[in-house]
Structure 1
């Protein structure tokens, strides 16, 4: 997307410094104080954010705000646009794996750290909205949390949500990680952990990095095995959610359960 606003069409400064420069992102340090056009641009963005919030800003400007702290002496608009071009959108930038972020020219340790702090904060906030609350009355918040935690991962992850007799979420645990299209899950271990936590019900959650939440035959078979193992011990399998990039699939709503 081209920047059509003349207020943001300032000339670009050199983005990268010669090898050996120790400044963040190998940036060429600006001598003395920031040029006024960069300082004014940063001030305008901060003011617009405080007055209108994130909804008043496109992704690249919100990302600029995040980069200001990590790269204090440089025009960060080119790097913000490069990150978005590389990963697609704001969510995918902050949730991108560290090795892939590090491979983007201009991204240094400070940028990666700030992005990962932001990702962790988003997940922590989303999780706080569902923990120790009845799942049925906070279902939308639960889906938001699952998408925040898992939708943009590049490998499969399998989580279990453990519920008590009142369907209150008492624990959320990652059980396994896998490849881009497979994650190993052992029904016996799932039920064993439920007994350890004195859980009465379960919700299974895993992601499909392909973006398509349609269950595979292996997904369906594994789900039925966990359901049957739980039935023997009085542990109810409420649902199995598959999280895609833009939407999720519920086994219960889709009548697989």
Structure 2
């Protein structure tokens, strides 16, 4: 097998007619009307100019469970699937296509973060939930993050405190609060994911949260909430009456 980078640069794409028709449909009917596989197919046009990208788009969606899953997957996993679907040996073309997709999803994640960052977090709860779901819903390993807030509940920093295994990310309550003092943060929101998909808090989650609350209380740092993200939704400790 060979990388499609060997294809002559001046060759006309074999699927240019189909691509033109798909672009016209998007322009006339609205991009929002396109199914996920066609959106993904169009994103891949520029990365893979000489082959039909529809089968690849469908393979990626099937492998990773949807667009969010593709965005959360590692570069290596996406590149492997691209190479497998397109019949490449892993090389320049598969790396470029995987990087293009990572860039697109990184932009989408930042767009989702902007409303939470520009307005007080507590009054932007819907935007905040959308952001944490995009950031963590399909993470294959547990990740613990802290959103540090100022006195107006404006976001100062979204910081990854720790990355762990498929079911555990170690958390050190005093380090969480110490970092708040460094940032002059008066409040925070704890966020982590459950790669199993079920956002239900575990006993360990509840105990750790209480330890952070106690450590913060002594230094006048308030814990507004602890959000657990899973594929089945987002659990809020405050809404569940756990804090």
Q: Same fold (TM over 0.5)?
A: yes
Equivalent position of 1:247 in the other structure: 233
SS in 2 for 1:193: helix
Q: Structure 1: 5+ residue runs without aligned partners?
A: 1-18
* Shift in Å, 1:29: 6.9
2:167 aligns with: 181
Number of aligned residue pairs: 234
**2:12 corresponds to:** 33
Question: TM-score, with normalisation over the residues of structure 2?
Answer: 0.90
Q: Is the 8 A contact 1:23 1:29 kept in 2?
A: no
Trace 1:35-184 onto structure 2 (pairs within 5 A).
Answer: 35=14, 38-104=15-81, 105=84, 106=86, 108-184=94-170
For the 8 Å contact 1:29–1:74, the answer to whether it is kept is: no
Give TM-score scaled by structure 1 length. Answer: 0.86
Unaligned stretches of 5+ in structure 2?
A: 89-93
Post-superposition offset of 1:193? 0.2
Q: CA deviation at 1:130?
A: 1.1
The alignment's C-alpha RMSD in Å is 1.8
Deviations 1:60-114 (A, max 9, x none): 1111011111100111111111112211212212321122223221371011101
Superposition pairs of residues 17-32 of structure 1, within 5 angstroms: 19=1, 21-24=2-5, 32=11
Question: Of Structure 1 and Structure 2, which has the larger fraction of its residues in helix?
Answer: 2
Task: Output the CA distance in 1 between the equivalents of 2:9 and 2:169.
Answer: 48
Structure 2 CA distance, aligned partners of 1:84 and 1:194? Answer: 39
Instruction: Select the residue among 196, 202, 210 that pairs with 1:216.
Output: 202
Q: 1:165 to 1:31 in 2, by over 3 A?
A: closer
Q: For residues 132 and 143 of structure 1, what CA distance do their matches in structure 2 show?
A: 15
CA distance in 2, matches of 1:97, 1:32: 32
Distance across 2 between alignment mates of 1:249 and 1:130: 18
Q: 1:31-66: CA deviations, max 9, x gaps?
A: 93233xx21211122222233444211111111011
Q: State the 1:132 CA deviation.
A: 4.0
> In 2, Cα distance between the equivalents of 1:30 and 1:85?
31
TM-superposed CA distance for 1:162, in Å, is 0.8
- Supply the distance in 1 between the matched residues of 2:55 and 2:7 (Cα, whole angstroms): 14
